[in-house]
Amino acid sequence: MTYAHSAQAFATARASAETIFDYLDDPTRLGSHMQKSSMMMLGGRMSYEFDEARGRAVGSLVRMEGKVLGLRLSVEEVIVERHPPRRKTWETLGQPNLLVVGGYRMGFEIAASGQFCRLRVFIDYDYPNSVAGRMLGALFGPIYARWCVNRMAKDAIAKFSNEPG
């Protein structure tokens, strides 16, 4: 499936690709920014539900639910690619009930280089299907997508080391 919009973020850590992959393979770690109330989440937050594989196998299902501004949000994702310690990708199933992004494919890639690894977090997405969703998506979707991938990259790398300078 192709998506109309995308965002990505990069970070560097002094850790092995295996260590970084193992940490990011847990969706609650990678998506920790969505589990906390924040301005970008408009005071809301999301919680996770998992199948038996807990998002750590191709075909595994991950569900998120929450409230933002009193509106109930939900999305179901499926892991579509998992190649430890280099790459993992997941995408939405059906039509997500979100405010500024609709269906999406997300993931991360890790490239080892000497003592460091370079992390790339990405999202390819569409705006929601409703008229209001398309309007909100056009206004806030790119801002939210950039914030999301930047948060994921920065939070993950903070676990291991600062970027070399």
- Domain limits of the chain? 5-158
Q: State which amino acid sits at residue 83.
A: H
Kindly report the CATH class assigned to 5-158: alpha beta
Assess contact for 118 and 110: CB atoms under 8 A.
yes
| pLDDT tens by residue, 72-111 | 999 999 999 999 999 999 999 999 999 899 999 999 999 9
Model confidence pLDDT, tens digit, residues 106-159: 999 999 988 899 999 999 999 999 998 899 999 999 999 999 999 999 988 888
CA distance 64 to 46: 6
